[in-house]
Amino acid sequence: MKRLFTYIAIVMMALCWSNQGSAQVLRDADYNSVGRIAGNGLVRDASQRSIGSFEADGTVKDKAGVTRGRINRLEIFNASGTRIGYIKTDGTVCDGESNVLGTINLNDGKVVDASHRVLGFARGIRVDWIACYYFFDFFKSTR
């Protein structure tokens, strides 16, 4: 029950962060814009070209519409259904074997890897979408 409450709290924070009517900017470590994620899940690169999407059912697709993975309750699965990671309630992102990949600051959207190097910033975007973009490279081949 506590885990469900925590999950609901994180989702509510993410929804409060996001402005569903407009795209939120993805930034690199130098705070340069590298793309956007719209409230409807459409992912665009810095040139505003579509590079994929997060579907309402949790499916993650690349620009060709090919399923790259799935999100379910802060757990990340690859296209074959294997859990490749998850997000803890404090914003820590782990791989499928519970190794820490990094952290997403739930207050300011700062994304850091396990060595505390800044990967980027993604304020106003759902934490599971941030993790898919920065840690699980669902859109890397299309960037």
Percentage above 90 pLDDT, the chain = 78
DSSP symbol at 65: S
Does 137 or 10 have the greater pLDDT score? 137
Q: What tens digit of pLDDT does each residue of 90-126 get?
A: 999 999 999 999 999 999 999 999 999 999 999 999 9
Domains of the chain with CATH codes: 2-142 (2.40.160)
Secondary structure (DSSP) of 20-60? TTS-EEEEETTS-EEEEE-TTSEEEETTS-EEEEE-TTSEE
Q: Give tens-digit pLDDT for 54-92.
A: 999 999 999 999 999 999 999 999 999 999 999 999 999
Please give the single-letter amino acid code of residue 35: G
Q: For residues 39 and 131, what is the distance between their CA atoms, to the nearest angstrom?
A: 16
